[in-house]
Structure 1
Amino acid sequence: MDNTRVNTTSVSLISDLKEITKMRLAISVVFSSVAGYFLGADSIDFLTVVMLAVGGYCLVGASNAYNQIIEKDLDLLMDRTRNRPVPSGRMTVNTAFFIASSLTILGLVILYMINPRTAMFGALSIFLYVSVYTPLKTKTPLSVFAGAFPGAIPFMLGWVAATGSFGIEPGTLFMIQFFWQFPHFWALGWWLYDDYEKGGFFMLPTGKKDKGTAIQIVLYTLWTILVSLIPAFGMTGKLYLTPLSAGLVLILGLGMLFYALQLYRKRDNASAKKLMLASVSYITLLQIIYVLDKLIRVWI
């Protein structure tokens, strides 16, 4: 009986740790960082890859934990968040803060061991997410703009981890993920509008599910596609994309644009959900194409 209780407690603790760090989101962010590393590295150091993945997960997990501490009362108001560890009462604020603080220190130390610039951008990311984006979510739709900065850092962070420097290449990776976040989060905000409204969050640019929001989603989708194709024109230093890969990225972008136009035409939750899922597929497949394009050119 005691062993059963211990096992149940252990499983519950692991489950809460996964939830407070938002494991799936954190893994997707780590994926972006690792993709950026492969793009920037002349030779692959797998120890650095592991350190980047672990350090990155720690910082993303810490950001999410701080976020859930700050928003614990608001999370109680929303259906999708009320069962999180802190608002549900399964985890105390002090415990959550200890986890967040420990992950912050561990993450920054690991990233510093890669190189100081990587740790600096990691620290900037967690500061902007927790101290700027999170408080603004209940104040203004501009919170999405503020959140796009820390959200765009992971892709470029990998390049900085590989090279120890910042230039046009990581800057381009930053811009790709920066513009992508607007159609992604606005589609999410449209789909979950009623739930966000319960918590008092302002996620849509006009504050409403209207034509103005739909138009901006289409425009930022176009910007995302254009920025994603810039490396094909040889203007971004060592970051280059072959015409074939650029064509594949364009096809992905047109697919995402199709769903953005569907949302503009129908303006319903189903279309918003499809666009949100399409945007996740777009950024993931784009990063895979970028990496494979480089690896194939190196091998050939």
Structure 2
Amino acid sequence: MSDLALDRAAAVPSVAQERVETPFRRFVAEFAESKLALLGLGVFVVIALTAIFAPWLAPQNPYDLGQLDIMDGRMEPGTVGGAGFTFWLGTDDQGRDMLSGIMYGLRISLSVGAGSALIACFIGASLGLLAAYAGGRTDSLIMRLVDLQLSFPAILAALMILAFLGKGILNVVIALVLVEWAYYARTVRGTALVERRREYIEAAHCLALPTRRILFRHLLPNCMPPLIVVATMQVARAIALEATLSFLGLGVPITEPSLGLLIANGYEYMLSGKYWISFYPGIALLITIVSINLVGDQLRDVLNPRLRK
């Protein structure tokens, strides 16, 4: 074989490799550089799957009062109950299996956190895009609302809203949306102010494209990297806020306890040695928040060009 043929044969793999290389593959490769991020992602996937399939995985339905036996109340971990199965993480004062309660509590915590973050992201991103694109009085009005919202501590604002609306999962979601949207609006506005001066926005104006199309088809996609990072962090923050509100008695109803309410149910028994009622839900909440934050930290490093090595 000639030297020219050998050179061509050697060049084929490199060309194929260049064709296979895509932005998504590059993103996955950079994300996988952090072992902690992969660990956090794996743990969160396990937690999410456990929450989704809780009705099939949990040995007991903690929301069904017919399955609860008050005689099984405050049993230690590993004790066999009257129903014949083992309470691996013990029971609370109502005879609720703590392992089942944690599985079902994760469903509420994750759904409330993800749902409120998604709604707040849509509202905040829309207002941030409008503020950056319109400018002038519109920008000033929206940003003054953002400053007003951010001037109040999130937990205090959520408590005031729930004191007015009352308990309930829907009311908790509304309260979290009202205290979270400003973070998305400020993030998107800062990015959109830079992007609106790009050539593709000027080209869209020259083509007389509708404002809605310019905002959501051209401007918003280029604001997604920082928005994804903020959304990831806000999901963890929303889960922590929901747990705090439920712990204080203003969150989800007592018939559908989340992790925060499970922690609150065992708080008064901590001094008497019944640590497991609050301890295990607290560990589950901590692991969930830490795993999300690990993923969010790596997303920030990968999606922010200034932080790339």
**Structure with the higher helix share, 1 or 2:** 1
TM over 0.5: no
TM-score by structure 1 length?
0.29
Question: Which structure ranks higher in relative contact order (CA pairs < 8 Å, sequence separation ≥ 6)?
Answer: 2
Look at both structures and tell me which one has the larger radius of gyration over its CA atoms: 2
TM-score by structure 2 length?
0.28
